[in-house]
Chains A and B, each alone.
Chain A
Amino acid sequence: MNEIPQVILRLGQAYVPFQVYVNRWEPMKALMMGTIFPELYRPYYSEEHRRG
């Protein structure tokens, strides 16, 4: 038997802020960091690094 759900859940919505170009790293530093945009620099750390 199909019951109408009592709680109407809202659908998921994605929101991504629009990037605004403010400044950038100079080319050699950018190459080392993997991006020219400082605001996009998000390095991964190992579990070991995280604990320490």
Chain B
Amino acid sequence: MLREQLELLNNIKAVEFTALELNLYLDTHPTDQRAIMDYNASVQEWERLRAIYVEKYGPLLPTDIVEGSSWRWIEGPWPWEIDY
């Protein structure tokens, strides 16, 4: 896996983690406006990065495959094949 691809993948994981943490915080603080704003921004950033990754390197989820006659899901490396 290219360094550039790995960097993008790690950024997606980091932003996803931030969104998840804010999600858990909001479960007990549902009216915290700043947390809601930061959560929304994190989800938007996550979607933006995911779109770039899927476009350049292929699906992150099987549901990312929307067209084509071949099954691209098995083309990328399996998680245990990625050298972090």
Chain A interface residues (CB < 8 Å from chain B) = 19, 21, 24, 27-28, 30-31, 35-37
Contact = CB atoms under 8 A, between A and B. Distances in A.
Contact of B14 (A24, A27, A37): A27
Main secondary structure of the interface of A (DSSP, over half): loop
A21 B35 contact: yes
Main secondary structure of the interface of B (DSSP, over half): helix
Contacts, number: 35
Nearest to A29: B14
Nearest to A40: B21
Nearest to B28: A19
A39 to B, nearest CB: 12
A25 to B, nearest CB: 9
A36 B18 contact: yes
A37 B21 contact: yes
Instruction: Return the 8 tightest CB-CB contacts between A and B, nearest first.
Output: A27-B14, A36-B21, A31-B14, A28-B14, A27-B18, A31-B17, A27-B15, A21-B35
Contacts of B34: 21
